[in-house]
């Protein structure tokens, strides 16, 4: 049974028990009413509404503003009906209103739906109704501790129940994410065992035999070694966050980047999580992947790359440096003019959309360094 189902069942039980209590009060006090039949009519309305509200609030599809407004309107109407049914002397003496504690069910409904804010709103409306009874009956001087205590209890119910419901829902969301994370971790461990028993062993063998044979086999062995290192890094990285993340959720950038490490790629990250909005983290990882792909394609045999992450208070800097031949002067401009937009779009475009900047330092024979700086609060089109 989900949390919402349990909460609405609790409200329904309270509404039914409060109806029994109100019926008892009306039965006991009906002899002193100015219009006894009016008391029984109000009780009939309360009974009918209790049955309907129990049915209506059971369906999430019907728990909208119209039903909440109707619930509060019926509770207010039954409360104000006290002026027509109860005698002036009874109101002045502080005798209970016709619905009594039954009206608090509307406060609970609003609090369960919208938390503290809506709970206090409903309590304030019904509290004003309590005061209005004395105003309409001309017994303002009879406002006493009983009326004041009733209003305070309504406000406390809206405040406390709304806050507890908010905490309970947050706890349920955290529990659901923890269960998903545990399931993802278990699946990752299962795959890691299978990969370790098969793929990693084969790659290690290819690497070793390729080095022994030399020639083209050595190059094949080197590539197998890189893939083995990348797979080991992927297996050891933190599991991905669940697909359904709450608004404002952040992602640790480190495991996304360390997945690219290998024999030819060294990734250095801080010891503590580097948290970014999930969209921004994915875009930075894609930009780094594009930079590393350029190193593999244009760096030549044996080119190495180093990825460094610097975590600042207001911005995050990721640099990709290689020891390749460098970028010839005018090469990037000619590539963009020819429609090859790897650096222009895959790197600069992504970082620009996040509100960041890219600087490229290169010289023939001295390698290339691409530095990407992204603010912690993305601006512009890249806002997640």
Cα radius of gyration rounded to whole Å, the chain: 34
Which of 131-135, 180-184, 218-222, 296-300 ranks highest by mean pLDDT?
131-135
C-alpha angle with apex 171: 158 to 175, nearest 5 degrees? 155
pLDDT value, residue 337: 55
- Residue 146: enclosing H or E segment and its boundaries? helix 145-197
**Count of beta carbons in the 10 Å neighbourhood of residue 329:** 10
Percent of the chain with pLDDT over 70: 85
Contact 291/327 with Cβ under 8 angstroms?
no
**Would you place residue 24 in the very low, low, confident or very high pLDDT band (cuts 50, 70, 90)?**
very high
How does pLDDT run across 167-213, given as a tens digit for each residue? 988 888 888 888 888 887 787 777 766 665 667 778 778 888 888 88
How does pLDDT run across 154-171, given as a tens digit for each residue? 999 999 999 999 898 888
How does pLDDT run across 320-358, given as a tens digit for each residue? 999 888 877 766 666 555 544 455 567 888 888 899 999
**Residue 326 backbone class (left: φ over 0; alpha: ψ -120 to 50; beta: rest):** left
**Count of beta carbons in the 10 Å neighbourhood of residue 347:** 23
pLDDT value, residue 378: 46
pLDDT value, residue 147: 81
**Would you place residue 377 in the very low, low, confident or very high pLDDT band (cuts 50, 70, 90)?**
low
**Would you place residue 217 in the very low, low, confident or very high pLDDT band (cuts 50, 70, 90)?**
confident
Find the length of the chain.
384
Dist CA 325 CA 187 (whole Å): 42
């Amino acid at each position: 049974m989900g949390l919402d189902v349990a909460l609405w069942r609790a409200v329904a039980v309270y509404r039914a028990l409060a109806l029994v209590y109100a019926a008892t009060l009306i039965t006991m006090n009906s002899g002193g009413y100015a219009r006894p039949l009016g008391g029984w009519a109000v009780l009939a309305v309360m009974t009918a509404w209790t049955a309907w509200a129990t049915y209506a609030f059971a369906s999430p599809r019907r728990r909208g503003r119209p039903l909440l407004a109707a619930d509060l309107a019926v509770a207010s109407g039954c409360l104000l009906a006290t002026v027509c049914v109860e005698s002036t002397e009874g109101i002045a003496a502080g005798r209970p209103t016709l619905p009594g504690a039954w009206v608090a069910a509307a406060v609970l409904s609003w609090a369960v739906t919208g938390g503290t804010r809506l709970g206090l709103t409903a309590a304030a409306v019904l509290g004003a109704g309590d005061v209005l009874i004395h105003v309409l009956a001309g017994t303002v001087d009879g406002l006493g501790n009983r009326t004041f205590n009733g209003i305070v209890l309504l406000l406390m119910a809206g405040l406390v129940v709304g806050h507890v419901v908010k905490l309970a829902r947050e706890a349920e969301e955290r529990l659901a994410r923890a269960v998903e994370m545990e399931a993802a971790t278990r699946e990752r461990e299962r795959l890691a065992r299978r990969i370790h028993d098969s793929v990693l062993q084969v790659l290690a063998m290819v690497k070793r035999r390729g080095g022994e044979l030399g020639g083209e086999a050595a190059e094949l062995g080197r590539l197998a070694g890189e893939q083995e290192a990348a797979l080991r890094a992927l297996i050891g990285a933190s599991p991905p966050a669940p697909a359904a993340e709450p608004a404002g959720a952040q992602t640790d950038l480190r495991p996304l980047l360390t997945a690219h490490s290998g024999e030819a790629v060294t990734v250095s990250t801080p010891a503590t999580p580097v948290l970014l909005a999930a969209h921004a983290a994915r875009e930075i990882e894609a930009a780094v992947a594009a930079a590393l792909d350029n190193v593999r394609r244009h760096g030549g045999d044996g080119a190495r790359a180093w990825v460094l992450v610097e975590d600042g208070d207001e911005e995050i800097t990721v640099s990709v440096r290689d020891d390749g031949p460098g970028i010839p002067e005018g090469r990037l401009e000619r590539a963009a003019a020819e429609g090859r937009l790897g650096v222009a779009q895959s790197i600069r475009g992504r970082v620009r959309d996040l509100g960041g900047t890219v600087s490229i330092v290169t010289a023939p024979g001295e390698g290339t360094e691409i530095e990407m700086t992204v603010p912690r609060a993305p601006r512009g089109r890249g806002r997640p």
